[in-house]
Amino acid sequence: MLLTAHLRDLARSVGFDLVGFARAEPIPPKFLMEWLEAGFAADMDWMRERADERLDVANLLPGAKTVISFVNNYWRDDEQSVDSPIARYARGRDYHSTLRDRMKAFRKALTGRFPGLGSYGSVDSGPLMEKVWAARAGLGYVGKNGCFITEPFGSWVLLATLVIDAEVDEYASGPAADRCGACRRCLMSCPTGALVGNGQVNAGACLSYQTIENREQQVPEAFRLKFDNLIFGCDICQQVCPLNRRPVFAEHPRFAPRAVAELGTLELAGLTEAQYEQLIPGTALARARYDGLRRNAVYALGVARQADSRHLLEKLSGDSSELVRTAAQWALRQLDP
Ligand code: B12
Ligand code: SF4
Ligand code: SF4
């Protein structure tokens, strides 16, 4: 049996802000199944494909006994990036590598002490329901905005999850109390109506999905029109949340905005391949790829109807990428309604 006091010290020493422990019991299927059946996963087929693993971590690690959930606060308000059209979580170094490195250090120390210990770890990409585990581990709860909300940092947090095949001496008793109450601010503020209540998000209607995951085709026009100084991810339903009113500055330099977060939509739409190679690898923005990022920035120029973007849009309407070309032709039409 592992001691949570020791594991907490270790988690803190490798850089995590919060850590909690949950029994590795199966997740009632209804949360995931209802969401999938409603079509809320849009084209994210990978959410469907490994549903059995998402619902039972014993399918990821035979003999799983405990799920350890880690939280990192990432909020910063650096002056040079304050107007960035990039969502906060993606302005610094790719959080996947930051949290993975921390979990790797945690695992290394743990297996050094308990050599036979089996474990499975993931940051975002593994078939795990990370918010459910963070809730079960007592670190907060899932708000109406679909985000995991903690007491000390609000929802400006990222999660990492580690399954182990040993028990710990103490488990959380369940999610923290729901603090949303009668508030509906996020639901009222979402520009696309993607929040359907009870913490469910219709991903197909969410600008985070449209700017990041839907990167190979044109975005439906109704959603494009909402790309208002927003080109990668969306923070609106977190920005308006009263539980995020007192954010805590994330000191660690890995969360500091990189040079790309100083650029506006005009500069991002006009990125050359060489600039892309210099600025984007090592950040989460790489997921949208060169043409996807430029397509998004071009939409945002169309929405802003800035006269000074005409020259660039004309140039991009002859771009070698069909994705960017078509987006630029649409954006030019917004300039001349
Ligand atoms: C798919 C996905 C998306 C999709 C769908 C969003 C969603 N809310 O499901 C899209 C692309 C839209 C998206 C967007 C974002 N994402 Co995302 N995403 C994921 C991913 C890969 C899976 C989430 C999932 O399983 N959804 C399916 C539904 C059915 O499950 P659920 O989200 O857990 O919600 C249900 C359960 O939690 C259940 N529930 C609630 N409480 C409890 C308690 C118990 C005990 C139980 C059993 C169940 C339960 O009720 C909820 C509704 O049914 C996770 C990483 C991961 N592997 O978990 C990251 C993750 C959720 N995303 C993250 C982030 C940062 C974002 C964005 C903020 C990025 C941005 N700025 O643009 C936005 C936020 C949009 C929003 N309002 O939710 C973070 C979460 C940060 C946080 N504080 O919540 C995660 C955890 C990645 C990480 N490792 O840090 N994301
Ligand atoms: S991230 Fe943006 S589009 Fe998605 S639910 Fe929140 S406010 Fe709506
Ligand atoms: S805005 Fe209001 S309803 Fe939405 S998550 Fe925050 S507290 Fe809950």
Ligand 2 centroid – CA 237 distance (Å): 6
What pLDDT band is residue 310 in, cutting at 50, 70 and 90?
very high
For residue 326, the Cα-to-chain-centroid distance in whole angstroms is 28
Q: Provide mean pLDDT across the span 245-269.
A: 97
Averaged pLDDT, 192-213: 96
Domain that holds residue 296: 263-337
Answer whether 234 contacts ligand 1 (Cβ < 6 A).
yes
Is 152 contained in some domain?
yes
- Assign 247 to helix, strand or coil: coil
Q: Is 227 within a domain?
A: no
φ, ψ at 2 (rounded to 5°): -95, 150
22 domain residue, yes or no? yes
Domain finish residue from 106, 141, 164: 164
Residue 219: pLDDT above 80?
A: yes
Is any ligand 2 atom within 6 A of the Cβ of residue 201?
A: yes
For ligand 2, the distance from its centroid to the CA atom of residue 75, given in whole angstroms, is 18
Ligand 1 site-directed mutation target among 96, 102, 128, 131, most atoms within 8 Å of CB: 131
The C-alpha atoms of residue 194 and residue 236 are separated, in whole angstroms, by: 12
Residue 272 shares a structural domain with residue 155: no
Both tokens assigned to 288: 């949208």
Sorted by sequence, the CB contacts under 8 Å of residue 5 that are 6+ apart come out as none
In the predicted structure, residue 306 carries a pLDDT above the cut 90: no
The CATH number of whichever domain residue 335 belongs to comes to 1.25.10
Active-site residue flag, 124: yes
Give the tens place of pLDDT for each residue, 164-175. Answer: 999 999 999 999
The reply to whether 312 falls in a domain is yes
C-beta 200 within 6 A of ligand 1: yes
Q: What is the mean pLDDT of residues 83-103?
A: 97
Residues 12 and 142 in one domain: yes
Give the max Cα distance, the chain: 69
**Mean pLDDT value of segment 296-323:** 96
Ligand 1 close to Cβ of residue 131 (< 6 A): yes
Is the overall model pTM greater than 0.75, yes or no? yes
Asked if 155 and 284 sit in the same domain, the reply is no
Residues 147, 277 within the same domain:
no
- Give the mutation target among 214, 236, 240 for probing the ligand 2 site: most ligand atoms within 8 A of CB: 236
| Domains held by the chain: number | 2
Would the CB of 154 count as within 6 Å of ligand 3?
Answer: no
Cα-to-centroid distance, 192 and ligand 2 (Å):
7
Active-site entry in 101, 124, 228, 319: 124
Query: Could you tell me which residues are beta bridge partners of residue 164?
Result: 66, 119
Measure 186 CA to ligand 2 centroid, in angstroms: 8
Please give the DSSP secondary-structure letter assigned to residue 213: T
Q: What is the pLDDT of residues 100-156, one digit of tens each?
A: 999 999 999 999 999 999 999 999 999 999 999 999 999 999 999 999 999 999 999
329 alpha carbon – ligand 3 mean position (Å): 38
135 lines ligand 1 (CB under 6 A): yes
- Give bridge partners of residue 66 from the DSSP assignment: 23, 164
| Residue among 49, 157, 201 to mutate when testing ligand 1 (max atoms within 8 A of CB) | 201
- Centre of ligand 3 to C-alpha 144, Å, is 6
> Residue 261: what are its φ and ψ, rounded to 5°?
-75, -5
Is 230 contained in some domain? no
Q: Is 206 a member of any domain?
A: no
Task: Answer yes or no: is the C-beta of 303 below 6 A from any ligand 3 atom.
Answer: no
> Which pLDDT value is given to residue 75?
98
* 4 has pLDDT over 80: yes
Do 156 and 269 share a structural domain? no
Please name the residues in contact with 115: beta carbons below 8 A apart, sequence gap of 6 or more: none
Handedness of CA 7, 125, 290, 309 (dihedral sign): negative
Q: Is the residue at 303 inside a domain?
A: yes
Looking at 164, 192, 223, the residue that finishes a domain is 164
> Is position 9 within any domain?
yes
Average pLDDT, the chain: 97
242 C-beta closer than 6 A to ligand 3: yes
- Where does a domain end: 141, 164, 187? 164
Q: What is the pLDDT of residues 175-187, one digit of tens each?
A: 999 999 999 999 9
